[in-house]
Every structure is written in C-alpha cells, then in structure tokens.
C-alpha cells in the first residue's frame, strides 16, 4: 500500500510511473488526496472539541467547588453537546479513514525505474540465458506422457479424488518430489535462510497484509465456514509472521525459507501449454523471504537472483531470466525477475520462479517497521522468491533428462532420491 505522504509529495511522478502498468492513477490519487484532506479537517475538529470538553470539565469542577451550581450546570449541558458532537465526528472520521484505506488498496505498487512499458508477458525483457538445450532422442515425450509411461504421476486419479489440477504422485515420482523439496530447503538454509513450517490457511488480515486481498480476491480458495483462505504461496504466512512488528536495525536482514503446498483457483484453459504439470490448482513450492533495510533491498534482490541461478546450475537445466514489464508485473511488486527453464520436449519456456522486491508496499500494509540508529521508526522493504516451485522444475527434469534407458536423475539429487534413473 502506498504511503499517503508520498502520494502528496510525488503525485505527478506516481501518475507517470503507474502508466507503465497501464493504470490510470490520476482519478484515484486525487480521491486519496481529497479523502486525506477531509480526514485531517475532521481530525482537527474532533481535537478542538475534545480540548474544549476537557477545558469545560475542569471549569465545572472549580465552579461546583465554589458553589456556582447554575454556571456549572450550563457548562455541563455544553459538555454533553460536545460529547454528542465528538461521537458523530469520531464516526465520520472512522468512515473517512476506512474509505481512504480501501481506496489505497486499489492502487498497485510504483514500478522501479528499470521496469519497461509493456502490455503483457510478450513485452518482458530477456536479460540473461544460460545452459545448453539438450538434443533428445527421436520420439521424445512430453512430461505428461512420461508420467504415464513410468507410472510416477497420475492425473486421472487426481481428477477422481478432487478434480483437474490436483495430481497424485506415485513411487519414484513422489520420492523425486520429496528430494527436490529437501534439496531446495538445504540450499536455502546453507545460504543463511532460517527454515519455518507455517500454516496452510490464513485469515483475512494476512491476505490483506501481503496484498493477495483485495486484488486477487476470488483466486484464493476461501473456507467460508471459518473465513480462512488456503495459501497461494508461503510468502503469505511467512511474511505475516512479522505483521505489526517493530524490529531493531540489528535484526535486519531477516531471512526466511519454508516449504508449503500452494493452492490457486486460477481460471483454467485448454491446450498443451496448460497440460500436465504446466498449470495446477495445488502444487508444492519452497519460498524465500527477506526483510531488509530500504538501502539494502536491491542488493538483496540481486543476491536472491544469484541464489536461484546457482540452484538451476546444479540441476543442469537450461534457463533464462526475464525482467517483467509494467503490464505483467505483479500488483504489489516494484521489480520482478522471472526464471524460466526450457522444456525440450514441449519446445517452450516454463516459468519456475519469480523473485521480487516489494519495497515498502507490503510493509505499509503490514505495519512492519524498524527503529533506525537515530531512534526513528521506518518501514522496511520486503522481498520474496520461489526457490523453487516444483511442478515445472519437475516437468523440465522429466523432459530434458529422458534417455532410452529411462529418466536420468540430476547428479545433485541422487543422494536425496536414492536412485539414478526412473525406469
């Protein structure tokens, strides 16, 4: 959520920056400014009334003490009216403040200067590419066919149990999933990230804290009986652990990692690009989250990018990095880099990680601050990244590592799996 004072100071610059997102900010920023003016004016009236009420209360006590009951009773009548006025103004102030917050919720984050204009993912900029695309044998199969051939993932059984987008992993497929999770967590903890196990459901306040609500309302699974939401990513519960916290400067950076299943109600479509593991409603993901001093956050973002690069190098998967354009960047992000692995059997790139800096946008929603060396409270910067999302990594491994002998397991995963081939 944007800070009102920053909107007041940077209105025109914000309008220009948000145009990169194809978002017409002028009307809503003007509404924010008007609401803030009304809020301050109403607060001033309320403060004056409360000051008068306190003043009269002291005078009433003196008048009664001096035996001037008639004057005291007149002041009591005035005080009673002031109390009624203050109640009315308090209600008005709460209404204005609530409307101001709800209006701020509708404004996306200000994109970083390096974010380019663009309408969609077609306009994202490739900034890095590494790894050789393997040459597969004749008759190479996409991962959904390999899953059936080696009986390691059963999509039909998932449909029977739940519905489309909920696969069942079997035998060596399940063990490979577990191996990837453990490998990712080990890499993250070795890099200084503290591991957490967090709830898979969150309350509404947590959804608002990290920005999934109200922007993505309807995309999360809502447990209506308890008014809870199944998490779309570990980012939500992990970051909300620090909601309403004032941390010390010496505690920063705070680096967290965690494994969770993720649940997303994304609208499905048809075709090979969403078949198999390409798009799921339930999938596993290991996440990294950082809480940083503002001046360190972009250096931290670079470090997160290098960390994900190192994982993909060890998996020996060809990958590239995209800097997302304004038309594709997430609602809460200031800058996002997407990682994609190349699926040789599908002849296409598959997104497997997003690494983002939210600057102070989430922190303002979360009321997450730190006390600096001068004793002043400041908003932190929050960052997160997939490290990594499993389905498309698994798809890339199955397709790129297929051989006439079977599916070779990447060397780095063999100690975790306990086998070298799926055959």
| CATH (domain of 67) | 1.10.287.40
Indicate whether 111 belongs to any domain: no
Q: What is the pLDDT of residue 51?
A: 85
User: The dihedral of CA 213, 214, 218, 222: what is its sign?
Assistant: positive
Instruction: Reply yes or no on whether the pLDDT at 58 is more than 90.
Output: no
The answer to whether 66 is annotated as binding is no
- CA pair distance 238, 15, nearest whole angstrom: 32
Q: What is the three-class DSSP state of 311?
A: helix
| 177 close to 394: Cβ distance less than 8 angstroms | yes
Query: What CATH number should be reported for the domain holding residue 150?
Result: 3.30.930.10
192 and 58 together in one domain: no
Evaluate whether residue 110 is within a structural domain: no
Q: How far is CA 368 from CA 100, 382, 385, in A?
A: 19, 9, 19
My answer on whether 197 and 261 are in the same domain is yes
Let me know if residue 403 belongs to a domain.
yes
Residue 261: both structure tokens together: 């299943």
- Is the four-CA dihedral 170, 173, 179, 185 of positive or negative sign? negative
Q: How far apart are CA 219 and CA 213, in angstroms?
A: 10
Of 385, 380, 354, 356, whose CA–CA distance to 366 is shortest?
380
* 360 annotated to bind ligand: no
Is 353 marked as binding a ligand? yes
Supply the pTM of this predicted model: 0.92
Residue 114 sits at the vertex; the CA angle it makes with 110 and 119, to the nearest 5 degrees, is 70
With a pLDDT cut of 90, the percent of the chain lying above it is: 83
Region 349-377: mean pLDDT is 96
Residues 130, 57 share a domain: no
- What average pLDDT does range 84-107 have in this prediction? 95
User: How deeply is 105 buried, as exposed, middle or buried, from its count of CB atoms within 10 A (0-12, 13-18, 19+)?
Assistant: middle
Q: Are residues 230 and 285 in the same domain?
A: yes
- Strand segments, DSSP code E, in 101-221 are 125-130, 153-154, 168-169, 194-195, 201-203
- Which tokens hold the place of 250? 């010496």
Residue 114 located in a structural domain:
no
Q: Directed axis angle between helix 4-19 and helix 26-65, to 10°?
A: 170
352 annotated to bind ligand: yes
Q: Are residues 66 and 215 in the same domain?
A: no
Please tell me whether residue 91 adopts helix, strand or coil conformation: helix
- Predicted confidence (pLDDT) per residue in 198-257, tens digit: 999 999 999 999 999 997 768 899 999 999 999 999 999 999 999 999 999 999 999 999
Among 105, 137, 172, identify where a domain stops.
Answer: 105
Residue 5: strand pairing partners: none
Verify that 33 and 182 share a domain, yes or no: no
Q: Centre a 10 Å sphere on the Cβ of residue 81 and count the other Cβ atoms it contains.
A: 12
233 labelled binding-site residue: yes
> For residues 301 and 334, is the Cβ–Cβ distance under 8 A?
no
Query: Does a structural domain hold residue 112?
Result: no
- The set of residues, in sequence order, having a beta carbon less than 8 Å from that of 195 and lying 6+ positions away, is 185, 188, 189, 256, 257, 258
Q: Which of 48, 74, 105 is the last residue of a domain?
A: 105
Q: Quick check: 305 pLDDT over 60?
A: yes
> Rounded distance, CA 279 to CA 14, Å?
34
| Mean pLDDT for the chain overall | 94
Asked which of 50, 81, 105 is the last residue of a domain, the reply is 105
Same domain, 174 and 211: yes
Residue 384 labeled ligand binder = yes
273 pLDDT tier (thresholds 50, 70, 90): low
Q: What angle do CA 55, 58, 62 make, to 5 degrees?
A: 135
**Per-residue pLDDT for 157 more than 70?**
yes
Q: Which of 2-16, 103-117, 269-283, 316-330 has the lowest mean pLDDT?
A: 269-283
Contacting residues for 173 by C-beta, under 8 A, at least 6 apart: 147, 150, 152, 153, 422
* pLDDT higher than threshold 70 for residue 271: no
| Residue with more model confidence, 61 or 271 | 61
Residue 266 reports pLDDT greater than 80: no
Query: Does a structural domain hold residue 113?
Result: no
**Do 294 and 385 belong together in one domain?**
yes
Q: Looking at the structure, do residues 192 and 246 belong to the same domain, yes or no?
A: yes
- For 176-202, the pLDDT digits (tens) are 999 999 999 999 999 999 999 999 999
Domain count, the chain: 2
Judge whether 116 lies within some domain: no
Is 264 annotated as belonging to a binding site? yes
CA distance readout (Å), 257 to 21, 219, 372:
30, 24, 25
The whole-angstrom separation of Cα 423 and Cα 171 is: 11
With 60 as the cut, is the pLDDT of residue 265 above it? Answer: yes
Confidence bin at 71 (pLDDT 50/70/90): confident
Helix axes 297-315, 171-190, angle to 10 degrees: 140
User: Distance between CA 209 and CA 384 in Å, rounded?
Assistant: 14
Range of the domain at 262: 121-422
Q: Tell me: do 29 and 126 sit in the same domain.
A: no
Residue 324 CB neighbour total at 10 angstroms: 23
Q: What's the rounded mean pLDDT across residues 382-388?
A: 97
**Whole-angstrom distance, CA of residue 333 vs CA of residue 111:** 7
The annotation status of 266 as a binding-site residue, yes or no, is: yes
Q: What percent of the chain has pLDDT over 70?
A: 98
Shared-domain flag, residues 100 and 188: no
Query: Would the pLDDT of 69 be above 80?
Result: no
Confidence check: pLDDT of 267 > 70: no
Q: Name the β-bridge partners of 323.
A: 125, 337
For strands 228-230 and 201-203, give the pairing: antiparallel
CA distance 318 to 66: 90
Kindly state whether residue 293 falls inside one of the protein's structural domains: yes
The answer to whether residues 270 and 392 belong to one domain is yes
């Amino acid at each position: 959520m944007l800070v009102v004072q920053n909107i007041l100071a940077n209105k025109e610059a914000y309008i220009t920056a948000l145009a990169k997102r194809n978002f017409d900010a002028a009307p809503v920023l003007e509404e924010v400014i008007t609401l803030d003016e009304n809020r301050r004016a109403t607060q001033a009236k309320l403060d004056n009334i409360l000051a008068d009420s306190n003043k009269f209360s002291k005078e009433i006590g003196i008048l009664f003490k001096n035996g001037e009951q008639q004057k005291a009773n007149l002041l009591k009548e005035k005080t009673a009216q002031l109390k009624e006025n203050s109640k009315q103004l308090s209600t008005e102030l709460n209404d204005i403040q609530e409307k101001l917050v709800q209006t701020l919720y509708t404004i996306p984050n200000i994109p970083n200067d390096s974010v380019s204009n663009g309408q969609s993912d077609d306009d994202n900029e490739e900034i890095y590419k590494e790894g050789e695309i393997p040459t597969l044998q004749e008759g190479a199969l996409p991962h959904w066919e390999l899953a059936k051939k080696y009986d390691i993932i059963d999509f039909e059984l998932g449909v029977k149990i739940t519905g489309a987008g909920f696969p069942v992993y079997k035998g060596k497929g399940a063990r490979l999933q577990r191996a990837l999770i453990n490998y990712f967590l080990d890499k993250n903890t070795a890099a200084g990230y503290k591991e957490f196990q967090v709830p898979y459901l969150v309350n509404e306040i947590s959804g608002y804290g990290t920005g999934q609500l109200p922007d993505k309302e309807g995309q999360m699974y809502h447990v209506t009986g308890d008014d809870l939401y199944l998490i779309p990513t570990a980012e939500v519960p992990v970051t909300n652990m620090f909601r309403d916290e004032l941390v010390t400067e010496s505690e920063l950076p705070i680096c967290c990692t965690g494994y969770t299943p993720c649940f997303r109600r994304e609208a499905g479509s048809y075709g090979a690009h969403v078949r198999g593991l390409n798009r799921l409603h339930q999938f596993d993901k290991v996440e990294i989250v950082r809480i940083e001093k503002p001046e360190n956050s972009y250096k931290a973002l670079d470090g997160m990018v290098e960390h994900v690069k190192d994982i993909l190098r060890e998996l020996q998967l060809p990958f590239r990095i995209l800097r997302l354009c304004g038309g594709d960047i997430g609602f809460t992000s200031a800058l996002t880099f997407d990682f994609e692995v190349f699926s040789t059997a599908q002849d296409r790139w598959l997104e497997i990680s997003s690494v983002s800096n939210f600057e102070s946008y989430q922190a303002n929603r979360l009321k997450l601050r730190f006390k600096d060396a001068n004793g002043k409270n400041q908003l932190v910067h929050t960052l997160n990244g997939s490290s990594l999302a499993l389905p498309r990594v698994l798809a890339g491994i199955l397709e790129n590592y297929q051989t006439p002998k079977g599916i070779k397991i990447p060397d780095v995963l063999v100690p975790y799996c306990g086998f070298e081939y799926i055959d």
